[in-house]
Amino acid sequence: MEGASFGAGRAGGAVEPLEFLRRPQTILRIVSGVFSIVVFGSIINEGYLNNRSSELRCIYNENESACNYGIAIGLIAFLACIFFLVVDLYFQQISSVKDRKRVVLVDLGFSGFWSFLWFVGFCFLANQWQKTPVSPKTGADAARAAIAFSFFSIISWVALTVKALQRYQLGTDMSLFAPDQFPTDPNAGYPGYPTGSGIESTETYQSPPFTETLDTSPKGYQVPAY
C-alpha cells in the first residue's frame, strides 16, 4: 500500500515481485545502474590508449584524474543502486518507524549528493575531451558514450532524489496504528464501554441477598450505655 508509512505499507506485509518491479523508484534504480555500467565500463575498456612511449594514458587529454573520477563514481553508483534495491525490497519488513525514517533520509542524502557528483563528472569529462588535442580513432565513441551517460545519470539521480523527498514528506500515516474507535476531535473524551445484550447495567442489579430481612436492631437486645 503506497504512502502508508514513508511510502510503504503495514510492517511485515509481503511484497509482490511484479508490483516491486513496476514501482517508479525501482525502475529508476535499474536505469541508473545501467547508466553507471556504461560510464565506468566504457572508460575501463577503451578509456586508456598507448602514447608514444607505449604507456597507457587516459583518453581524456591524458588526464588520469578524469578517468579515475569517471570509474569511481560509476562503480560506486552501481553498487549503491544494488544496495538500495535490496533495501527497497525489504523496506516493508522494517517494523520501526524511526528505522524507516533513517533509511529514507540516507536514500535522500545519497541520491542528492550523487546527483551533484554526476554533474561534476559530466562537466569534467566534457571539458577534458574538448581539450584533447587530437581525437583518437580508437576509443572516441566510448569516450563520448561515457560523457553522454554521465549526463543521463544526472537526470536519473535527480529523479531518485525527488522520489526520496516525496517518500520522506509522506511521513507516517498514523491511521494504521490508531484504533478506529478513537475520536478525530482531540478535545473529545474517550468513548465509553458499549453496553450490549450480554452486559447488564447497574439498574438491572437486584438488591443484595438478606438485606430485606436483616434487622439492624434485633429484638431483645439492649445497647449498653457507657
SS (H, E, C) 115-184: HHHHHHHHHHHHHHHHHCCCCCCCCHHHHHHHHHHHHHHHHHHHHHHHHHHHHHHHCECHHHCCCCCCCC
Per-residue CA distances from 113 to 168, 184, 203, 218 (Å): 16, 41, 70, 93
3-state secondary structure of 214: coil
CA angle at 33 for the pair 148 and 21, rounded to the nearest 5°? 125
Neighbours of 49 (CB within 10 A): 16
pLDDT of residue 181: 38
Assess contact for 168 and 7: CB atoms under 8 A. no
- pLDDT digit string (tens) for 32-52? 999 999 999 999 999 988 776
**Closest by Cα among 71, 48, 72, 70 to 61:** 48
C-alpha cell at 151: 549526463
Greater confidence (162 vs 7) lies with 162
Average pLDDT, the chain: 79
- pLDDT digit string (tens) for 87-135? 999 888 888 888 889 999 999 999 999 999 999 999 999 999 999 887 6
Assess contact for 173 and 3: CB atoms under 8 A. yes
pLDDT of residue 174: 42
Flag the least confident range among 19-23, 65-69, 78-82, 206-210.
206-210
pLDDT of residue 13: 53
pLDDT of residue 134: 72
H or E element at residue 50: strand 48-50
What does pTM read for this prediction?
0.69
Most confidently modeled range among 10-24, 64-78, 177-191, 194-208: 64-78
CA angle at 137 for the pair 62 and 143, rounded to the nearest 5°? 55
Greater confidence (209 vs 108) lies with 108
Assess contact for 40 and 142: CB atoms under 8 A. no
Going by pLDDT thresholds of 50, 70 and 90, the confidence category of residue 2 is very low
* pLDDT of 200 higher than 70: no
Most confidently modeled range among 18-32, 49-63, 86-100, 129-143: 18-32
Assess contact for 43 and 142: CB atoms under 8 A. yes
3-state secondary structure of 58: strand
